[in-house]
Structure formats: structure tokens, C-alpha cells
Amino acid sequence: MARIVMKFGGTSVADLTRIHNVARHVKREVDAGHEVAVVVSAMAGKTNELVAWAQGMPKATGSSTPFYDAREYDAIVASGEQVTAGLLAIALQSIGVDARSWQGWQIPIRTDNAHGAARILDIDGSELVRRMGLGQVAVVTGFQGIGPDNRIATLGRGGSDTSAVAIAAALKADRCDIYTDVDGVYTTDPRIEPKARRLAKISFEEMLEMASLGAKVLQVRSVELAMVHKVRTFVRSSFEEPDAPGMGDFDNPPGTLICDEDEIVEQQVVTGIAYAKDEAQISLRRVDDRPGVAAGIFGPLAEANINVDMIVQNISEDGSRTDMTFTVPSGDVDKALAVLEKNRATVGFDAVQSEAGMVKVSVIGIGMRSHAGVAATAFKALAEKGINIRAITTSEIKISILIDGPYAELAVRTLHSVYGLDKQ
Ligand code: ADP
Ligand code: ASP
Ligand code: MG
């Protein structure tokens, strides 16, 4: 007997037929004698609809910020998961499985106060453990908890993955299964490259890079938590028949295992390609070249909660003026330009230019640590396709390249093929 957390994403619970199908997946594990907690997302498209409603509301009179009240945003967008949890609990009961739904605050899942992008601080799993011991399935709303202000807080888009891993850690579960609309983690997004291959295993570090660099199959924070708490996490498909051969295999379920690097025997140099759309490039021309300038630029941007990513600075020819280029999410360009303009006098620069609609394509692999020439291969392959490189950043296990938006798919496919990742 083991304890398992099963998470089902939006497409897996998109309608009542699929919710009944999910119930059969859960019943399979219950019948095998396991204790089960289930984490659910909102039905596909629901959260987008709720977000659009919230964003369409007028801001409060006299409000000093251009945004709506984030606590009310959370109250609105958290409702999608509440519906799914109730429906799944009923679907389970209807096939003879004892189940009840739990909202984040009822457990409670405690978060910090960052409404809209809250982090889980603590989960009291004692009541869930007691009831699972009595054979009851806990169906928990993903994506949310309760903040120190006693109000619902959501964890950022895609946050149900994080709820699942955090609950698995709190319950000391033997496994956390993330069921989605693909049967595992692929060498790149299979929607872009049909030749992508499913990985049997991927290391925590690589998955962290893949997720951070745009592969939305897992929320970044969920991978961090899995890594820190050593949660055995599988990504697998909810679209398989629940009773298909091997689906209930405890040690080796079908899907991709996220694990420690040393569990992976055959390590490739490059494991995967990720991409992130909607990046914007901002360049400051003729910036003063003196100590404190970078802090003068990026400090205020950070204070405004703008996520600066790639930063490129040239060495100035005469030691007095230089150019500084960096990227931000396209949605933050106007805010960033306003912040820069406000700080123009203190920083000292001549002009600012911006361009949206860029894409960042990244090559990821732990094997890069010990192999030279990985970056050169990428640059050559992109050049041969006539793709211009605007900026480059590297770390020990990844190379990221900024290119023009229309070339995204060509670049992903080109890199996928040049590193030998295409399925034969
Ligand atoms: P869920 O609703 O189950 O949380 P998501 O849409 O958040 O599902 O994540 C699954 C999607 O992630 C897949 O449909 C796929 O298009 C996308 N994806 C992006 N990169 C990858 C990758 N490397 N491997 C698998 N899926 C990926
Ligand atoms: N329903 C939320 C979202 O769409 C959380 C999740 O699906 O993980 O972002
Ligand atoms: Mg998701």
C-alpha cells in the first residue's frame, strides 16, 4: 500500500465525460489499495474566462494603482477549481468510491500575501491523512490557498501543479502523478514539433530550466518543490484508458519521471528545446559607463515588479558611454518604458528603443557541462536558416537565443533536429 497524489489539469477535466474518466483513474489506484489525494484544475478555458471578467472590471475610484484589487481577483479566479472538485467528488461517489472535496482554506494550505502569485508556506495535512487512512479520497482544489489576511490567494497560472507537489510533500506521498493531455515530457513542445520524443526520465535541474524557459507542461515552482522535497513526480496522460495495460504499474507507471540526475543512465548532451513567446527587447543608447548605472536601471524595474530577463551590455569604446539591451515580457513594455523615463536623469542615457514580439529559444542539457561546442552548433544551424540572433545568454546547462517572433517554430525545429532529438 502506498500514498499517491494524482493531479488532473484543465483539459483532463474539460467536461463531465472527462471528469467521469478521471474518476476511473482514481478508482484504479484506490482498488489497488493505495491512499489517494487528488488535486484538480478548473475545467479547460474556465480560468481564462474568469481572468478576463476580473480584468474587465473598472478600477476602484481613487485607487492609486492602475490595477484591480488582487484579493478580489483571487476570489474570482479560484472559483473554477471549486466546481471541478465538487463534480469529481460526486463522480467518485457514483462509482462507489468514498470521496469529499476540499478547498485550500479548509485544509488549510497557507500561503504568503502575494495575491495572484502567492507561494505556499505550509500545509496542515493531518486531517487528510486521517481520512485517507479510513479509505476516503480527498479531492483538493489546486491553484489556491489562504493568505495571512485570511483571504483566498492563488498561486499564479498553472499553479495546480505546485499545489499537487506541495501536498505530496506535506503528506509524505510515495508519488505525485501529474496527469495532463500529453503522455509525458517531450524533447520539445509536441504541438510545435511532431518529431519530438517522449523522455522516460528528466533531471530536476533540466526540468526546472525547461519550465522556466517556457515549457508550460509544469509550473516552475512545482519543479523547485519536487527538487527540494525529493518528490517522485511523474508526468503522464489522463487520456489513456484507465484500465489499459501497465497504467496501474506502481514502480514504473507510463510517463516521464522527474528525478535526480544520477538516476539517469544514458545522459544526452542536449535534452530538450524550449521557447517563450512574447518577449520584448529594450535598448538604452549611450548610457553613462560608470559604477551604479546597472543598479540605477534595474533596481527601479524590479521595484515595479518587472521581470527583466536577458541583459547584454557592451564595453564602451572610449570608456564613457555604452549601450545596454535587455528583455522583458511584451505585456510589461509600457510599464518598463515609463519607469525608465522617470529615472532618465539619474541614470543618464540618450535614447531608449523597444521592440515587442520576440521569441526566446533555449537549448537545455546537463551534458553541456562537459561538452564544448554546443552553442556554436546552434549558431551555425540558425545562420543556415537565415535566422538573425538578437541576444544570447548562457548558463552551465542552457543556451538561450533571442530571435524575431515569426522564426520561432523554424528555430525550434532546426535546433531539435541539429542536436539529434528528432524521433526516427
Ligand atoms: P494541464 O492543463 O494539464 O496543466 P498544460 O496545458 O498546462 O496542461 O500543459 C500541457 C501542455 O504543455 C501540452 O499540451 C504541451 O503542448 C505543452 N508542452 C510544452 N512543452 C512541452 C514539453 N517539452 N513536453 C510536453 N508538453 C509540453
Ligand atoms: N486553473 C489554473 C490555470 O489555468 C491553474 C492550473 O490549471 O494549474 O492557470
Ligand atoms: Mg498546466
- Residue 66 confidence (pLDDT) above 70: no
Q: Which ligand is nearest to the CA of 143?
A: 2
Q: Is 53 helix (H, G, I), strand (E, B) or coil?
A: helix
Pairwise CA distance, residues 402 & 391, whole Å: 5
Task: Provide the CB-side half-sphere exposure for 28 (13 A, CA).
Answer: 20
Q: What is the pLDDT of residues 129-166, one digit of tens each?
A: 999 999 999 999 999 999 999 999 999 999 999 999 99
Q: What is the pLDDT of residues 352-377, one digit of tens each?
A: 999 999 999 999 999 999 898 999 99
**51 C-alpha vs ligand 1 centroid, how far in Å?**
20
Residue 198: DSSP 8-state: B
Say which residues have a Cβ less than 8 Å from residue 393's Cβ, sequence separation at least 6: 309, 310, 311, 312, 399, 400
Q: What is the pLDDT of residue 65?
A: 59
| Ion ligand 3 residue ranges (Cβ < 5 Å) | 9, 158
Residue with grid cell 541614470, as numbered in its chain: 347
One of 3.40.1160.10, 3.40.50.300, 1.10.3720.10, 3.40.50.200 is the CATH number of 3-263, namely: 3.40.1160.10
Q: Is 260 left (phi over 0), alpha (psi -120 to 50) or beta?
A: beta
Q: What is the pLDDT of residue 101?
A: 98
**226 C-alpha vs ligand 1 centroid, how far in Å?**
18
Is 420:386 a contact under the CB 8 Å cutoff? no
- Cβ count near 410 (within 10 Å): 15
Q: What is the pLDDT of residue 321?
A: 87
Q: What is the pLDDT of residue 67?
A: 63
The vertex-169 CA angle with 2 and 10, nearest 5°, equals 90
- Fold held by 272-418: VC0802-like (3.30.2130)
**Three state DSSP letters for 312-374:** EECCCCCCCEEEEEEEEEHHHHHHHHHHHHHCHHHHCCCEEEEEEEEEEEEEECHHHHHCCCH
- Residue 265 confidence (pLDDT) above 90: no
Over range 231-237, report the average pLDDT.
97
- Cβ count near 202 (within 10 Å): 27
Pairwise CA distance, residues 361 & 411, whole Å: 7
Going by their DSSP bridges, the two strands 35-40 and 137-141 should be labelled as parallel
Q: What is the pLDDT of residues 74-121, one digit of tens each?
A: 999 999 999 999 999 999 999 999 999 999 999 999 999 999 999 999
**362 C-alpha vs ligand 1 centroid, how far in Å?**
16
pTM higher than 0.95: no
The alpha helices in 61-217, defined as continuous H runs, are 70-77, 79-94, 126-133, 160-170, 204-212
Nearest-CA residue for ligand 2 atom 8 is 158
Q: Which three cell numbers stand for residue 22?
A: 478521471
The binding-site residues of ligand 1, defined as CB within 6 angstroms of any ligand atom, are 9-12, 41, 158, 180-182, 185-186, 188-191, 210, 215-217, 272
Asked whether this chain's domains 3-263 and 272-418 adopt the same fold, the reply is no
Taking the domains of the chain in order of start, what are their residue ranges? 3-263, 272-418
Pairwise CA distance, residues 312 & 360, whole Å: 14
The vertex-36 CA angle with 23 and 176, nearest 5°, equals 100
Pairwise CA distance, residues 163 & 165, whole Å: 6
Q: Which atom of ligand 2 is nearest to the CA of 162?
A: 8
Is 351:285 a contact under the CB 8 Å cutoff? yes
Nearest-CA residue for ligand 2 atom 6 is 158
Computed over every residue of the chain, the mean pLDDT equals 94
- Residue 13 confidence (pLDDT) above 80: yes
